[in-house]
Structure 1
Amino acid sequence: MLKAFILCTVVISLACVCVAVLSMQWRQIQMLRVELLNLEQQVKLVTGSRADGETCCHSAARCGVEQRTIMHLVPVSTHSYDERDLTVLTWAVGRGYGAGLQLSGETITVVNNGTYFIYSQVLYKDTTWVMGHVITKRMNGAETKLMKCLKSMPSNVSLPLNSCYTAGAHFLESGSVIELSIPRKSADLILSAQATFLGIFSV
């Protein structure tokens, strides 16, 4: 009888423990549900969800969100200016959005004042011992060199390949004209989108 009583007591105790654990887990589940609902409400407020399913992301201007201007350019062709000892590239838009920048063949015109991050890379295939390019800003007749990139070329003339990458942030006034040029006429470049590119975006 004593053994049966002890066994019964143990079973009842275990059952009480199980009930207590289940009760705690149930409360935790309820708390998680409340937190999840709160998070959903916060996400709806941030994205501006509406009854018709439209969100702020689809209508940035209407929701008062500033849209970042981005332009990534890929090379189309090169042109050599013998009198200036320069080679310049003609570009096409590979990716971009926003109305703050305008491409016109060889140059980018800045529409809106602001700080912009500019990046560029050129892959050279040239036997000249050093190659490089310059990012220039022209504004009201004045010319400013924003960035320079220089790279020594391989001594092996049978494979004269090397790339040069440069990047930096600059404040650009409305009307600024940006150009990438190689200070060497008839420079030999690799005109592929993965090897040679120019990009600019507002920060």
Structure 2
Amino acid sequence: MQKSLILCTVIISLACVCVAVLAVQWRRIQTLRLELLNLEQHVMSLTGSCGERGTYPYTTACCGVSLTHPLRNSRKKRGASSKQNPRRKRQTEQRTFVHLVPASIHSYDERDLTVLTWALGQSYGAGLQLSGETITVVNNGTYFIYSQVLYKDTTWVMGHVITKRINGAETKLMKCLKSMPRNVSLPLNSCYTAGAHFLESGSVLELSVPRKSADLILSAQATFMGIFSI
């Protein structure tokens, strides 16, 4: 009987504690509801005194307070930055490149040279002008030049030279040499070279093989040349 009385007392105590906790939580919920109601009334009073709300995502002006969608702000900033940076725009407009593929070759016996005639494979901009065997630079700048020639020749070593001419002066910008296979039944080998050079306006570039009557493979995948501004 005494144990039952103790158990009942414990149960009643726990029930009282639970009721007290629920009462505290209920009061907290009522307080939060009251604060939320006051906030809603405050917002409604602001929007009601300023007229209709703006349509998302456009600006809502309310009693001197401007609420603007963040994406709209970022677009405006990007537009302003592009207008404030004309130098970058000019640099983009000056970008130019050409990728050349072989059209034919011509041998100069008196100069002991074989020179390639090029055709445009791809191009962008007007800063580089192709004229048969030569490329003329229109704008000063630093350019990356690359070239490859596939040789089919029994001579023990083959190669090519990229030459720059300006104001009567001639400069050899790049040279490429490659040993040819000893097997004369399949004398194939390619030579690739590339580099960056500053080119003045009016510079004329030419790729030549320093050997007359050189035998080359004239396919776009094997023999090519390209220049682009950097």
Residue 43 of structure 1 deviates from its aligned partner by 6.9
> 3-state DSSP class of the match of 1:112?
coil
Residue 65 of structure 1 deviates from its aligned partner by 5.3
User: CA separation of 1:113/1:159 partners in 2, compared to 1, >3 Å: closer, same or farther?
Assistant: same
User: CA separation of 1:42/1:65 partners in 2, compared to 1, >3 Å: closer, same or farther?
Assistant: farther
Structure 1 or 2, whichever has the larger Rg, is 2
Q: Distance in 2 between matches of 1:188 and 1:44?
A: 60
Task: Tell me how large the CA RMSD over aligned residues is.
Answer: 2.7
Residue number among 178, 186, 191 corresponding to 2:205 in the alignment: 178
Q: Which amino acid aligns with 1:165?
A: Y
- How do 1:1-203 residues align onto structure 2 when only pairs under 5 Å count? 42=74, 46=78, 64=90, 66-67=92-93, 68-203=95-230
User: CA separation of 1:114/1:126 partners in 2, compared to 1, >3 Å: closer, same or farther?
Assistant: same
User: CA separation of 1:103/1:40 partners in 2, compared to 1, >3 Å: closer, same or farther?
Assistant: farther
TM-score normalised per structure 1: 0.71
| Deviations 1:105-163, CA, capped at 9 Å, x for gaps | 00000010111100000000000000000000001111100000000000001110000
User: CA separation of 1:40/1:90 partners in 2, compared to 1, >3 Å: closer, same or farther?
Assistant: farther
**Structure with the higher fraction of residues in helix conformation:** 2
Unaligned runs of 5+ residues in structure 2 are 1-10, 19-68
Residue 99 of structure 1 deviates from its aligned partner by 1.0
Paired residues, number = 160
Q: Distance in 1 between matches of 2:152 and 2:72?
A: 55
User: CA separation of 1:76/1:38 partners in 2, compared to 1, >3 Å: closer, same or farther?
Assistant: farther
Unaligned runs of 5+ residues in structure 1 are 10-36, 49-54
* Higher relative contact order, chain-length normalized (CA < 8 Å, sep 6+): 1
Deviant stretches of 4+, over 4 Å:
37-46
Identity among equivalent pairs (%): 80
Q: Which amino acid aligns with 1:144?
A: T
Residue 66 of structure 1 deviates from its aligned partner by 2.2
> 3-state DSSP class of the match of 2:107?
strand
